């Protein structure tokens, strides 16, 4: 299974990020995880929310450039070596990771992965009994 | 030469020119036939008003060699300037044209006081652009030593200026200021170099820039005007009086017209400068509209020359920009952007002068559903646009990706260019 990630294109200017969070707040949408990739004059905000369709709609209405991407989300135990084990099995099978980000809280961490080959990546994670969302 | 003698010479040359294009360039023959003209109707220079105009669009429509009067075997050189929608303006020169060009440019360098004892560095770009080779042949014709430095390597340029005791330089006025800056950064002063003459052109400049260049480089700065469609640098030049640029009017006949009504305007009135190439045989042009705005003066100059002078170019009557000496039209940028579905059909060009060098930034909006979630893809997209712009414009532009809707749109004439260069 994959989940939908929302990507928002942002110009690098003060307060622009806040515009995104304000729109989401005004519509009662909570972010579960997010990260920002930046180039010199623009950035990409990637976020995971519960109400994907609603978030896309309100962001587009607010004038943002938004696209959806299928990504893989897994639960990973929050302890040393847990992620390393997963990544090792992906590397052994020549899975290249375009980008990933993670949030850890108490016993567990949520890890979002965008690999070059999604199907193969999922197959390997299932074989390894990873906890896929 | 008296005015009567000059007019007589111009009239004879114009008649010969009209015969040449009537019989060799279908474009001109058709235009003349439409106007009910034959070469016999053009006998003296006063008849020039009967002839049709030629525009940049005519050059584009007849791309690449439709306006050439000489056969390919007679053409010994081709130059080209960037054009809109990917069509450059191609100009073919016969051996005789190159001689006329060298001689015209040599007149300019002679007026600046260059002799065979001078050592001249040509810092215009060599290549399709006429600046480098045009100045080169002019300096060589005078018999001075020419160093084809071209553009790019400023440190080496400074070193050559110093070590070879170079006495003259030809480049754009903004590059001259850049050189002065680089010189000062390297701990050199104007006393470390021996420059005394500067030939500057290919972009608009002002009296203030002249004073700054003269005081920082310790030389006398003169204007050198030309355009590739007519021949290249050497169409007109300043003398020691620095009071207008003398036009080689025995080769390039000037007129000033009202750009809207196309009616000729009297001397002293500002209007669009128009040139007829009286002696060229490769690609001769009748009444070519330069889109440059200036006025003309006749009468004897303090230097003794009697040929017509033109004032500085005070502006353009189209939207052309001159960036680092290269002609750039907003429509060129537009054509590139319209070809790429990833971008909204809007753009903003920001032109600035940073550290004495012109910069161009092109802002474009990424389409709402057309961007990639991967940074590498986005950077590749930016690179792709920058490469395309470079190939069409011949200068590099810094591309800035913007959010959709962030570039202002307006009904009617919208702002597509912000020129922050202070030409004071």
pLDDT tens digits, one per residue of A44-102: 999 999 999 999 999 999 989 899 999 999 998 888 998 999 999 999 999 999 999 99
**In terms of domains, do B265 and B333 share one?**
no
Q: Who among A10, A67, A69 is closest to B403 (CB)?
A: A10
ipTM: 0.82
Please choose, from the candidates B2, B54, B49, the residue with its C-alpha nearest in 3D space to the C-alpha of residue B25: B54
- B83 belongs to a structural domain: no
The mean predicted confidence, pLDDT, of chain B is 92
Do A39 and A17 share a structural domain? yes
**Is B63 in CB contact (< 8 Å) with chain A?**
no
Q: Are residues B136 and B273 in the same domain?
A: yes
Please state the rounded mean pLDDT for residues B388-404.
91
- Please indicate, yes or no, whether residues B312 and B334 belong to a single structural domain of this protein: no
User: Chain A residues within 8 A (CB-CB) of chain B?
Assistant: 5, 7, 9-11, 37-39, 41-42, 44, 46, 60, 63-67, 69, 98-99, 114
**Number of folded domains that form chain B:** 2
Average pLDDT on B237-266 reads 96
Distance of alpha carbon B246 from the chain centroid: 16
Same domain, A110 and A126: yes
Domain end, chosen from A52, A68, A84, is at A68
pLDDT at A113 over 80: yes
Residues of B in contact with A5 (CB under 8 A): 373
From B263, B285, B318, give the residue that closes a domain: B318
- CB distance B373–A67 less than 8 Å? yes
Q: How far is A107 from chain B (nearest CA, A)?
A: 30
Is the pTM value of this prediction over 0.80?
no
B83 pLDDT tier (thresholds 50, 70, 90) = low
Q: Are residues A19 and A62 in the same domain?
A: yes
Task: Tell whether B294 is covered by a domain.
Answer: yes
Of B367, B368, B400, the CB nearest to A41: B400
State how far residue B391 is from chain A, nearest Cα, in angstroms.
23
Q: Are B374 and A99 in contact (CB < 8 Å)?
A: yes
Q: Which domain holds residue B337?
A: 326-419
Task: Kindly state whether residues A14 and A38 are assigned to the same domain.
Answer: yes
One domain, residues B287 and B351: no
Q: How many C-beta atoms surround the C-beta of residue B57 within 10 A?
A: 10
Name which of B130, B133, B134 is nearest B107 in CA terms. Answer: B134
Question: Do A47 and A76 have their domain in common?
Answer: no
Q: What is the DSSP letter of A30?
A: P
> Does one domain contain both B370 and B231?
no
Of A22, A44, A68, the last residue of a domain is A68
- Identify the pLDDT of residue B58: 94
Residue B74 covered by a domain:
no
Residue that finishes a domain, picked among A53, A68, A83: A68
> Are B314 and B350 part of one and the same domain?
no
Same-domain pairing of B97 and B198: yes
B111 found inside a domain: yes
Number of domains in chain A: 2
**Domain containing residue A127:** 71-132
Q: Which of B89-98, B195-204, B304-313, B335-344 has the lowest mean pLDDT?
A: B335-344
Given B318, B353, B386, the domain boundary residue is: B318
As a whole number, mean pLDDT of residues B352-358 equals 86
CATH number of the structural domain spanning residue B279 = 3.40.50.12780
pLDDT tens track for B280-316: 999 999 999 999 999 999 989 999 999 999 999 888 8
- Residue B217 within a domain: yes
- Contact of B356 with chain A, judged by CB distance below 8 Å, is answered with no
Residues A38 and A53 both lie in one domain? yes
Domain end, chosen from B301, B318, B335, is at B318
CATH number, domain of B389, equals 3.30.300.30
- pLDDT for residue B82 is more than 70: no
The yes-or-no verdict on residue B414 having pLDDT over 70 is: no
Does the pLDDT of residue B412 top 70, yes or no? no
CATH of the domain at A123: 3.30.2130.10
Q: Is residue B271 part of a domain?
A: yes
**B223 vs A39 pLDDT, higher one:** B223
A32 shares a domain with A54: yes
User: Would you say residue B12 lies in a domain?
Assistant: no
Position of tokens 């020419």? B146
Query: Which of B350, B372, B373, B383 should we substitute to test contact with A (largest number of A Cβ atoms within 10 Å)?
Result: B373
Q: Examine residue B13 and state whether it is found in any structural domain, yes or no.
A: no
């Amino acid at each position: 299974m994959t989940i939908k990630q929302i990507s928002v294109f942002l110009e690098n200017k003060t307060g622009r990020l806040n515009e995104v969070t304000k729109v989401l707040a005004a519509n009662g949408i909570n972010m579960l995880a997010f990260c920002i990739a930046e180039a010199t004059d623009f950035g990409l905000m990637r976020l995971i929310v519960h109400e994907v369709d609603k978030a896309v709609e309100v962001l587009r209405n607010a004038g943002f450039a938004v696209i959806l991407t299928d990504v893989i989300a897994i639960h990973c135990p929050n302890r040393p070596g847990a992620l390393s084990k997963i990544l090792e099995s992906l590397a052994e099978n020549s899975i290249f990771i375009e980008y990933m980000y993670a949030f850890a809280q108490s016993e567990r961490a949520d890890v979002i992965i965008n690999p070059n080959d999604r199907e193969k990546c999922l197959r390997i994670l299932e074989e390894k009994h990873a906890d896929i969302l | 030469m008296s005015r009567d003698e000059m007019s007589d010479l111009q009239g004879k040359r114009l008649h010969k020119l009209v015969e040449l294009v009537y019989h060799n360039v279908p474009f001109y023959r058709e235009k003349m036939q439409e106007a009910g003209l034959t070469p016999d109707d053009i006998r003296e220079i006063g008849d020039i008003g009967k002839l049709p105009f030629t525009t940049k669009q005519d050059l584009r429509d007849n791309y690449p060699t439709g306006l050439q009067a000489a056969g390919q075997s007679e053409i010994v050189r081709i130059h080209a300037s960037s054009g809109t929608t990917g069509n450059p303006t191609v100009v073919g020169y016969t051996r005789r044209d190159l001689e006329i060009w060298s001689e015209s440019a040599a007149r300019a360098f002679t007026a600046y006081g260059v002799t065979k004892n001078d050592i001249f560095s040509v810092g215009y770009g060599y290549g399709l652009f006429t600046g480098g080779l045009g100045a080169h042949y002019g300096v060589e014709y005078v018999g001075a030593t020419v160093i084809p430095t071209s553009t790019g390597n400023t440190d080496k340029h400074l070193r050559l200026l110093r070590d070879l005791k170079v006495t003259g330089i030809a480049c754009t006025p903004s590059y001259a200021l850049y050189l002065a800056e680089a010189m000062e950064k390297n701990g050199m002063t104007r006393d470390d170099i021996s420059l005394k003459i500067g030939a500057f052109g290919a972009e608009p400049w002002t009296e203030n820039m002249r004073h700054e260049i003269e005081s920082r480089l310790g030389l006398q700065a003169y204007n050198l005007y030309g355009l590739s469609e007519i021949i290249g640098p050497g169409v007109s030049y300043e003398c020691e009086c620095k009071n207008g640029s003398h036009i080689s009017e025995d080769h390039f006949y000037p007129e000033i017209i009202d750009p809207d009504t196309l009616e000729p305007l009297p001397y002293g009135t500002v209007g669009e400068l128009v040139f007829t190439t009286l002696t060229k045989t490769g690609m001769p042009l009748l009444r070519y509209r330069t889109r440059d705005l200036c006025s003309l003066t006749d009468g004897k100059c303090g230097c003794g020359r009697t040929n017509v002078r033109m004032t500085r170019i005070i502006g353009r009557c189209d939207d052309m920009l001159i960036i680092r000496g290269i002609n750039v039209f907003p429509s060129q940028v537009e054509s590139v952007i319209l070809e790429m579905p990833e971008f909204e059909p809007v753009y903003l060009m920001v032109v600035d002068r940073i550290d004495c060098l012109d910069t161009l930034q092109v802002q474009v909006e990424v389409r709402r559903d057309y961007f990639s979630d991967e940074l590498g893809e986005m950077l590749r997209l930016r690179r792709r646009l920058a490469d395309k712009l470079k190939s069409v414009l011949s200068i590099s532009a810094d591309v800035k990706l913007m959010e959709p809707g962030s570039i202002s749109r307006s009904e009617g004439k919208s702002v597509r260019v912000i020129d922050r260069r202070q030409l004071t």
